[in-house]
Chain A
Amino acid sequence: MIAGISIYEILTVTSFLFFIGVYGFITRKNLISILMSVELILNASVINFVIINKYLYPDVLQGVFFSIFIIAVAAAETALAISIIINLYRQISSVEVKDTEIMKY
Chain B
Amino acid sequence: MEKIIFYILAFIIIAFAIASVSSKKMLRSVIYLLFVLIGISGIYFLIDYNFLAAIQLTVYAGGIIVLIIFSVMLVHHVEMELELAKVSKRIIVGIASLLGLALFLVTIYSHEFNVVENSITTTTEDIGLGLLNYEAGGFILPFEVISLLLLASMIGAIIIAKGTKLTSKKNDTV
Is A1 a contact partner of B118 (Cβ separation < 8 A)? yes
Is B14 a contact partner of A32 (Cβ separation < 8 A)? no
Q: Is the interface of A mostly helix, strand, loop or mixed?
A: helix
Q: How many residues of B contact A (CB 8 A)?
A: 81
Number of A-B residue pairs having CB atoms within 8 Å of each other in the complex: 214
The answer for the CA separation of A76 and B163 in the assembled complex, in Å, is 19
Is A86 a contact partner of B116 (Cβ separation < 8 A)? no
Is A71 a contact partner of B68 (Cβ separation < 8 A)? no
Interface residues as binary, B145-168 with A (CB distance below 8 Å gives 1, 0 otherwise) = 010011001101110110110000
Interface residues as binary, B104-118 with A (CB distance below 8 Å gives 1, 0 otherwise) = 110011000111111
Which residues from chain B sit less than 8 Å from chain A, CB to CB? Answer: 2-3, 6, 10, 13-14, 17-18, 20-22, 26, 29-30, 33, 36-37, 40, 43-44, 46-47, 49, 52, 55-56, 59-60, 63-64, 67-68, 70-72, 74-76, 82-85, 89-90, 93-94, 97-98, 100-101, 104-105, 108-109, 113-120, 122, 126-127, 130-131, 139, 142, 146, 149-150, 153-154, 156-158, 160-161, 163-164
The answer for the CA separation of A29 and B89 in the assembled complex, in Å, is 12
Q: How far is the CB of B62 from chain A (nearest CB, A)?
A: 11
Is B160 a contact partner of A27 (Cβ separation < 8 A)? no
Q: Which 10 A-B pairs have the closest CB atoms?
A: A24-B21, A83-B161, A76-B153, A83-B157, A58-B118, A4-B3, A15-B104, A83-B160, A27-B85, A19-B97
Q: Indicate the size class of the contact surface on chain A.
A: 35 or more
Task: Point out the residues of chain B lying under 8 angstroms from A73, CB to CB.
Answer: 146, 149
Task: Point out the residues of chain B lying under 8 angstroms from A4, CB to CB.
Answer: 2-3
Given contacts A64-B130, A65-B130, 13 further A-B contacts (CB under 8 A): A2-B47, A27-B93, A32-B26, A36-B30, A39-B33, A40-B17, A40-B33, A43-B37, A50-B49, A54-B47, A65-B127, A77-B153, A82-B161
Is A5 a contact partner of B2 (Cβ separation < 8 A)? yes
**Given known A-B contacts A43-B37, A69-B146, A86-B161, A16 and B26 have beta carbons under 8 A apart:** no
The answer for the CA separation of A5 and B2 in the assembled complex, in Å, is 8
Q: How far is the CB of B114 from chain A (nearest CB, A)?
A: 6
Is A27 a contact partner of B89 (Cβ separation < 8 A)? yes
Task: Point out the residues of chain B lying under 8 angstroms from A39, CB to CB.
Answer: 33, 37, 60, 64
Task: Point out the residues of chain B lying under 8 angstroms from A96, CB to CB.
Answer: 83
Is B142 a contact partner of A69 (Cβ separation < 8 A)? yes
Interface residues of A in 1-31 (CB under 8 A from B): 1-13, 15-24, 26-30
- Which of A2, A20, A33 contacts B46 (CB under 8 A)? A2
The answer for the CA separation of A24 and B16 in the assembled complex, in Å, is 13
